Structure 1
């Protein structure tokens, strides 16, 4: 696997890459495209959640404890 030392365990990134490669029947291009598609979907979801939280905060729907500890209110 691309110059890795066999004696050490796989890193988390290597485990994920191996899973994507296996799911893509060891087609590197298909695996790369799927990784990018999944990352973009995760970013879209994070942006959606952030926008929703901002709407709640701007409308005053923030609950006690939702602000980080030590922050002035």
Structure 2
């Protein structure tokens, strides 16, 4: 697998130079193609691998936040008399 979060390819061959805009999708595609020496199949596999890794990390963080929120809710609950524990 290649390094993640690579910078977009620079120079006249970059996608943004062709379009005159800075479309993030084109910049990311150009970066992956640059890192894979122009191999589109490998660039696609690397992009998918990175996207799935990011998705799994986001899901892990969401579960962790949910667990911490649940724990905080239980610690802050009220007893039968209405006083905090």
TM-score (norm 2): 0.62
- Could you tell me which runs of 5 or more consecutive residues in structure 2 were left unpaired when the two chains were aligned: 1-12, 74-85
Matches within 5 A, 1:35-46: 35-46=47-58
Aligned residues: 59
TM-score, normalising length: structure 1? 0.71
- In structure 2, the CA distance between the partners of 1:8 and 1:56, relative to structure 1 (3 Å rule), is same
Q: Cα RMSD over matched residues? A: 2.3
Q: For residues 7 and 35 of structure 1, do their structure 2 counterparts lie closer, same or farther at Cα, with a shift above 3 Å needed?
A: closer
Structure 1's unaligned 5+ residue stretches are: 62-73
RCO greater where, 1 or 2, for CA within 8 Å and sep 6 or more? 2
Structure number with bigger Rg: 2
